[in-house]
Amino acid sequence: MQRVIDSHVHLSERRDDALFPFAKKNRLQYNLGELLGSMRRFKVGRGLLLSPPLEQGTILPNSEVIKLCKRSGGMLAPVITVEPSAKEVKAAVRLAEEIKSDVKGFKVRLGYVKASADNSVFGPLYDYAESEGLPVLFHTGDTAFSNGELSRSHPLTLDGLANKREELIMVLCHFGNPWFEDAAELIYKHANVYADISGLITGGAYAEEYAGWLARKISEAIYYAAGADKVLFGTDYPVSKHSDVLALVKRLQVDERDKEKILCRNAARVFHL
């Protein structure tokens, strides 16, 4: 089997990183050395690095994400996070042009920012992403903090955009959790829509039952979509650990070929790795 590709990783090495509570819960140190060590241990060859949120409600600058990728010796590749303002969209496109051979996609933080996916502010970003064949990752479903807006992160909010832009490759992060069936309908209906299984496992009470529930939901979504060609492995490190998400894939009631697609083949195709 090819090496696993993790489509969704965060890191900052800053003390004001808002994902630290998740790292603590998972007993992770949440630093580059640990991340690369865990990737090697679990045979994860590549990871896509996304900016984490900071405590002030802002995000780690994309330039810092690029620096961390450089330090990873080729194991991490950057995804540029884009906030909803004309200035930020312009800066993101300019940055993508500058690092053209390295950039693997864009990320829009639905539910955390005051804009929906079809907001016209993102128009130039989608034009550029389409022309370069770069996927746009969208946060969908449950938000990590209680002040998120689910009315903007529900997977069905992306149906209109997928209709309008059939050339835009879209990834629904976290499979729209808990709206797995809605996400399944989107990946079934639209040739250009994918979903990742990152950040779903967070521990806590009934962790074992919940892992079983997740495995059933994702398996059923794959039956509904008539295959696993649109499903991507991801951890959302430090929200979920490599070991836990790999165990989730193992539990899926699908054949081995489909598991291989989820773990590496689909991401290799979508992100040109």
Find the angle CA(223)-CA(224)-CA(225) to the nearest 5 degrees.
95
Closer Cβ to Zn ion, 159 or 236, answer by number: 236
How crowded is residue 272: how many other Cβ atoms within 10 Å of its Cβ?
11
**CB–CB of 169/136 below 8 Å?**
yes
* Shortest Å, Cβ 57 to Zn ion: 16
Closer Cβ to Zn ion, 182 or 236, answer by number: 236
* Shortest Å, Cβ 8 to Zn ion: 6
Closer Cβ to Zn ion, 17 or 236, answer by number: 236
Task: Name the token pair of 6.
Answer: 């993790």
Interface stretch with Zn ion, choices 29-37, 209-217, 233-241, 258-266 (CB under 5 A): 233-241
Q: E-strand spans in 75-208?
A: 76-81, 105-108, 136-139, 170-173, 193-196
Nearest partner of 83 among 104, 113, 53, judged by Cα:
113
* Shortest Å, Cβ 197 to Zn ion: 12
Using Cβ positions, the residue closest to Zn ion within the complex turns out to be 236
* Shortest Å, Cβ 47 to Zn ion: 12
Interface stretch with Zn ion, choices 30-38, 106-114, 130-138, 231-239 (CB under 5 A): 231-239
What backbone phi and psi angles, to 5 degrees, belong to 134? -95, 125
CB-based contacts of 250, cutoff 8 Å, min separation 6: 259
Interface stretch with Zn ion, choices 127-135, 181-189, 209-217, 230-238 (CB under 5 A): 230-238
DSSP H or E stretch at residue 231:
strand 231-232
* Shortest Å, Cβ 188 to Zn ion: 24
* Shortest Å, Cβ 50 to Zn ion: 6
Work out whether 196 is an interface residue with Zn ion (CB under 5 A). Answer: no
Closer Cβ to Zn ion, 234 or 258, answer by number: 234
Closer Cβ to Zn ion, 218 or 254, answer by number: 218
* Contact residue for Zn ion among 109, 236, 248, 252 (CB under 5 A): 236
* Shortest Å, Cβ 23 to Zn ion: 13
**Residue whose pair of structure tokens reads 């496992």 in the numeric block:** 201
Q: Tell me the number of residues near Zn ion by CB under 5 A.
A: 1
Closer Cβ to Zn ion, 84 or 234, answer by number: 234
**CB–CB of 211/201 below 8 Å?**
yes
Closer Cβ to Zn ion, 122 or 138, answer by number: 138
Q: Distance between CA 106 and CA 108 in Å, rounded?
A: 7
Q: Distance between CA 30 and CA 43 in Å, rounded?
A: 18
Closer Cβ to Zn ion, 61 or 227, answer by number: 61
* Shortest Å, Cβ 120 to Zn ion: 25
**CB–CB of 61/81 below 8 Å?**
no
Q: Distance between CA 250 and CA 159 in Å, rounded?
A: 30
Which stretches of the chain bind Zn ion, using CB under 5 A?
236
